[in-house]
């Protein structure tokens, strides 16, 4: 469903369930990570994009202290009092909104002394790594701010969403997803510096889009693998802090030349994990420069291929299914670049293509996956789009 159809359905579902019209509505998109893999917690750089799939949140004021929230796809309701501080164990999906409401109320308690009735409904493909959770946090955050007449800075709203995931949903996420959803711009990427949290939009142009190819592969021990990668990055940063003659508080402070000079003196795993992060920071900055000087999409796409090779060999967070798709992409006419998207160990590949080639390339990607595994992968056309906003 296109976004207008999703919104129309959300309006009808809200009125049908609550017997009244909504008074505020907001929208927030999902996001795709384009370059900058595992760089956020190393205080590095990421290029991402808000996408053309998102979530709507509709709400109206309540007369009492109850909050009533409906998941529009399930038409199930979660209810809590405004004073509640505990996660909802029966409706896990409600915790993203419940946590955001709690975070807003901490800052604006006097203005938020009544409950609300609300409903959310969206079209983000689930399980594709497009961050439906952050979209729900940001759309509900903006909608609730409008409902209660309070103002929150975008960065603060992103942190409130992050805290909701940490404390209510039990997911220790960074800020990439929330920032990407809030700061998206049509035909542009979102460039984030995760040390300063400075954000800027980098024009990609209207002759480029992405394909998100979801393998649906999930591999065991992901949490342990993730923790190992993070620990080795921290170990490498500590090594460079003592080995180099300038301050190093994170891997973004280390150049690739410095890494090459010291790699043989390091633990092998720490050396390869840090090579990935340092290389990714370099690729993000190079990619931004390429887009800023004539939109050199072919060269930008090569950086995406390089990123995946580093994931495969240095960070070892790829897997067979992702490698099959990226290897196939290299030989499919019209693919400018491809890499895994997100944490890795399964999930999706993102491919850069011209919009005119998207359908044909998508068919070829499905066929290549089917040839190996006997079934196709899900493919969605992803357009860099405007960020979260109140719409009524």
Total domains in the fold of the chain = 2
Average pLDDT of the residues in 153-170: 93
Q: Based on the domain organization, do 188 and 238 belong to the same domain?
A: no
CB atoms within 10 A of CB 250: 21
d(CA 51, CA 383): 6
Residue 177: active-site member: yes
Q: Based on the domain organization, do 158 and 292 belong to the same domain?
A: no
Q: Based on the domain organization, do 131 and 246 belong to the same domain?
A: no
Q: pLDDT for 174-215, tens place per residue? A: 899 999 999 999 999 999 999 999 999 999 989 999 999 999
| Residues 253-273: b if buried by 16+ CB within 10 A, e if exposed | bbeeebbeebeeebeebbbbb
CB atoms within 10 A of CB 290: 19
Q: What phi, psi does 36 have (nearest 5°)? A: 110, 65
Q: Based on the domain organization, do 150 and 247 belong to the same domain?
A: no
Q: pLDDT for 262-303, tens place per residue? A: 999 999 999 999 999 999 999 999 999 999 887 899 999 999
Q: Based on the domain organization, do 137 and 228 belong to the same domain?
A: no
Q: Based on the domain organization, do 174 and 97 belong to the same domain?
A: yes
Average pLDDT of the residues in 379-392: 95
Q: pLDDT for 224-249, tens place per residue? A: 787 889 899 999 999 999 999 999 99
d(CA 283, CA 291): 12
Strands 209-218 and 389-390: unpaired
Q: Based on the domain organization, do 250 and 147 belong to the same domain?
A: no
d(CA 275, CA 255): 10
Q: What SS3 state is found at 272?
A: helix
Q: What is the pLDDT of residue 67?
A: 98
Q: What is the pLDDT of residue 179?
A: 96
Q: Based on the domain organization, do 92 and 32 belong to the same domain?
A: yes
d(CA 101, CA 90): 18
Q: pLDDT for 56-69, tens place per residue? A: 999 999 999 999 99
Question: Considering only CA atoms, which of 46, 21, 23, 45 is closest in space to residue 33?
Answer: 46
Q: Based on the domain organization, do 193 and 220 belong to the same domain?
A: no
Domain ranges, residue 220 = 209-382
CATH of the domain at 37: 3.30.230.10
| Residues 154-190: b if buried by 16+ CB within 10 A, e if exposed | bbebbbbbbbbbeebbeeebbbbbbbbbbbbbbbbbb
Question: What does the block give as tokens for 323?
Answer: 């490698």
Q: Based on the domain organization, do 221 and 195 belong to the same domain?
A: no
The answer to whether 215 touches 379, Cβ cutoff 8 Å, is: no
Q: What is the pLDDT of residue 247?
A: 97
Average pLDDT of the chain, as a whole number:
94
Q: What is the pLDDT of residue 368?
A: 96
Q: Based on the domain organization, do 319 and 194 belong to the same domain?
A: no
Among 40, 88, 177, 253, the active-site one is 177
Q: Based on the domain organization, do 117 and 231 belong to the same domain?
A: no
């Amino acid at each position: 469903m296109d976004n207008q159809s999703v919104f129309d359905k959300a309006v009808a579902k809200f009125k049908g369930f609550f017997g009244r019209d909504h008074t505020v509505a907001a929208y927030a998109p999902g996001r795709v990570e384009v370059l900058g893999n595992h760089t956020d917690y190393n205080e590095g750089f990421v290029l991402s994009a808000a996408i053309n799939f998102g979530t709507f949140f509709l709400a109206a004021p309540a007369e009492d202290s109850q909050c009533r929230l409906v998941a529009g796809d399930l038409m199930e309701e979660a209810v809590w009092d405004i004073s509640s501080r505990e996660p909802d164990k029966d409706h896990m999906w409600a915790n993203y909104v419940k946590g955001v409401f709690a975070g807003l109320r901490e800052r604006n308690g006097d203005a938020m002394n009544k409950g609300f009735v609300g409903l959310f409904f969206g079209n983000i493909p689930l399980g594709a790594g497009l961050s439906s959770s952050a979209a729900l946090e940001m759309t509900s955050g903006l909608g609730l701010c409008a409902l209660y007449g309070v103002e929150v800075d975008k960065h603060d709203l992103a942190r409130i969403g992050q805290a909701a995931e940490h404390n209510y949903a039990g997911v220790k996420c960074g800020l990439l997803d929330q920032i990407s959803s809030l700061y998206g711009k049509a035909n542009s990427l979102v460039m984030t510096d995760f040390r300063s949290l400075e954000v800027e939009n980098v024009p990609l142009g209207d002759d480029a889009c992405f394909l998100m190819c979801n393998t649906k592969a999930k591999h065991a021990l992901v949490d342990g693998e993730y923790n190992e990668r993070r620990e080795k990055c921290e170990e490498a940063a500590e090594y460079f802090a003592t080995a180099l003659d300038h301050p190093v508080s994170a891997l973004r402070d280390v150049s690739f030349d410095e890494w090459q000079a010291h790699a043989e003196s390091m633990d092998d795993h720490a050396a390869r994990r840090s090579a990935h992060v340092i290389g990714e920071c370099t690729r993000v900055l190079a990619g931004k420069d390429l887009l800023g000087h004539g939109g050199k999409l072919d060269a930008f796409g090569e950086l995406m291929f390089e990123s995946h090779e580093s994931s495969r060999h240095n960070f070892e967070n790829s897997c067979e299914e992702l490698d099959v798709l990226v290897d196939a992409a290299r030989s499919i006419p019209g693919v400018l670049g491809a890499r895994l998207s997100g944490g890795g160990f399964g999930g999706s590949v993102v491919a850069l293509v011209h919009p005119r080639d998207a359908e044909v390339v998508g068919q070829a990607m499905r066929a290549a996956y089917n040839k190996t595994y006997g079934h196709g992968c899900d493919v969605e056309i992803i357009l860099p789009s405007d960020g979260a906003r109140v719409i009524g």
